[in-house]
Structures are given as structure tokens and as C-alpha cells.
Amino acid sequence: MKEIDKILDSKEKVFWEGRPKFWPFFLSGFAGALFGLIFLIVGGIFVIMGILSGNYFFIFIPHFWIGVVFVFGIPLYKALVYSHTYYAITHKRIILQKGLIGRDFETVDFDQITNAEVNVGVLDKLFGGGSGSILLSTAGTFTYTRRGPIQKPYTISHIANPYEVFKFFKKVSHDVKTDIHFPNKYRPTENPGYRTHYNVKK
């Protein structure tokens, strides 16, 4: 269910909205399945050995349950959260809606975005008809650890026509950021500056 309207500001206009293609979105939950399968097999062997020997303590071995979560839990979560996943581009920001029980929203103002890229993966090619993801980086998407910086960008996942949406996003982002820092006349000439109405078609 789309609920983006709940957090729109007064007079905020939505220029584009969309949602992921189901199969690439769902199957991306199996990315850690191989890793989880190893835990599941190793843990399962210990559990079976424990049951056969009458030592039920092995049922609580963490490796087995970690494997269960990776192999079954993450794909199940993806399937359940899909119906609540939507994205929007407005004249101010990017909005990402998600959440399983309650609705969670992430917003990214255009002037906070430091880098953007579009990615079309194997799942998009095979199951999404050429869908793809747009990754948005800000200063806040970098986490610094002992091994160096780790990036966790905001992601508009597995959407249709990713290149067209990406080009559209780049145009809107450039126009808005330019006008915020250098108010100009690409908007209505009778009232130049960032407080006027932005016409995306210009």
C-alpha cells in the first residue's frame, strides 16, 4: 500500500513514483543463501548427531539457526515487505517507503546527495525485463570502521526503466541544487529564485 502522501510537505509535487519489480526484488533476498546454506548444513549435521545421541543441547547450536534465517527468513521478509515498498521523486527530495508492520520512510534531499549511480544486475536481466537500481550516496551513508569506510547507500531497488529514471533524477537534482545555491531564472521569469514553482519540463 502506497502511503507516501502522508509525509509530503504542503504543495510538494511528486514528479515520479514507482515500486520494484517483484521477482528481482524477491530473489535478491537469496543473495546470502549460499552463505546461510553452509551454516545450515554444518549446524544441521550437529543437530542430527545430537538428536541421535540423545543430546538435545545441539538443537540450540547457533550455526543452524543462523543458516535458517539466511536461507528462509530473508526471502520471506522480502516477500512480505514488497507490498509496502514504494519510491518517489519530488521537486525537493527522494522518498523511500518500506516497512513490514508499520510504515518506515527515508528521505534524501537533493542537496545532500554526493554521488549517484545506476546498476542493472543479473537478476534484473533475467527476471526483471531490464529493471535496475539507483544508488544514492550522502555523507551519512558512510560508516567508518577499523577496516576503513563502509558505504550503505540509499537504494531505489529493481525499478522499471532504470536508465530513464536515473537521467530524470539527475536533471531534477542538478536543477534544484543549482537553484538552491545560485537562484536563477530557469523557473518562471516573473519571480526568479528557488522559492518559485519548479517546472520539470523546462
Higher pLDDT, 136 or 141: 136
Judge whether 123 lies within some domain: yes
In this structure, are 64 and 102 located in the same domain?
no
Q: Give the span between the Cα atoms of 114 and 27, in whole angstroms.
A: 29
Look at residues 58, 80, 102 and tell me which one is the last residue of a structural domain: 80
Residue 161 lies in a domain: yes
- Quick one: 75 and 92 in the same domain? no
Does residue 174 belong to any structural domain of this protein? yes
Q: Which residue's C-alpha cell is 545450515?
A: 40
CATH number at residue 116: 2.30.29
In this structure, the number of other CB atoms found within 10 A of the CB of residue 46 comes to 16
Which of 104, 36, 38, 43 has the alpha carbon at shortest distance from 73? 36
Say yes or no: 100 and 63 in one domain. Answer: no
Q: 121 and 138, same structural domain?
A: yes
Residue 192's pLDDT is what?
Answer: 56
Q: Is residue 6 part of a domain?
A: no
CA nearest 132: which of 163, 86, 108?
Answer: 163
Q: Are residues 141 and 111 in the same domain?
A: yes
Total number of domains in the chain: 2
Same domain, 109 and 142: yes
92/56 same-domain check: no
Q: How far is CA 39 from CA 30, 46, 63, 67, 80, in A?
A: 14, 11, 5, 5, 24
Q: Which pLDDT score, from 0 to 100, does residue 61 have?
A: 67
Determine, yes or no, domain membership for 41.
yes
Q: How far apart are CA 178 and CA 170, in angstroms?
A: 12
- What is the DSSP code (8-state) at residue 102? S
Q: Residues 69, 119: one domain?
A: no
Q: What is the mean pLDDT of the chain?
A: 83
- Strands of 21-112 (E only): list them: 86-90, 93-98, 104-109
Q: Which long-range CB contacts under 8 A does 26-31 form with residues at least 24 apart?
A: 26/75, 26/78, 26/79, 26/82, 27/75, 27/123, 27/127, 28/78, 28/123, 28/157, 28/158, 29/74, 29/75, 29/76, 29/77, 29/78, 29/79, 30/74, 30/75
Question: Which range has the worst mean pLDDT, 60-64, 90-94, 118-122, 162-166?
Answer: 60-64
pLDDT score of 143 = 66
193 assigned to some structural domain: no
158 shares a domain with 99: yes
21 domain-assigned: no
Segments forming the whole domain that contains residue 44: 29-80
Q: Where are the beta strands (DSSP E) in 4-58?
A: 14-18
- The pLDDT value given to residue 24: 94
pLDDT at position 99 over 70: yes
Task: Please check whether residues 98 and 75 belong to one and the same domain.
Answer: no
The pLDDT of residue 102: 84
Burial of 28 (0-12, 13-18, 19+ CB in 10 A): buried
157: pLDDT strictly greater than 90: yes
Q: Which residues pair with 55 in a beta bridge?
A: none
* 36: pLDDT strictly greater than 90: no
pLDDT in tens, 41-91: 776 676 677 777 776 666 666 766 676 776 677 788 889 999 999 999 999
Predicted TM-score (pTM) of the model is 0.78
Q: Tell whether 202 is covered by a domain.
A: no
**What pLDDT, on a 0 to 100 scale, did the predictor assign at position 133?**
97
**Cα–Cα distance for residue pair 21/31, rounded to 1 Å:** 17
User: What average pLDDT does the segment 173-196 reach?
Assistant: 67
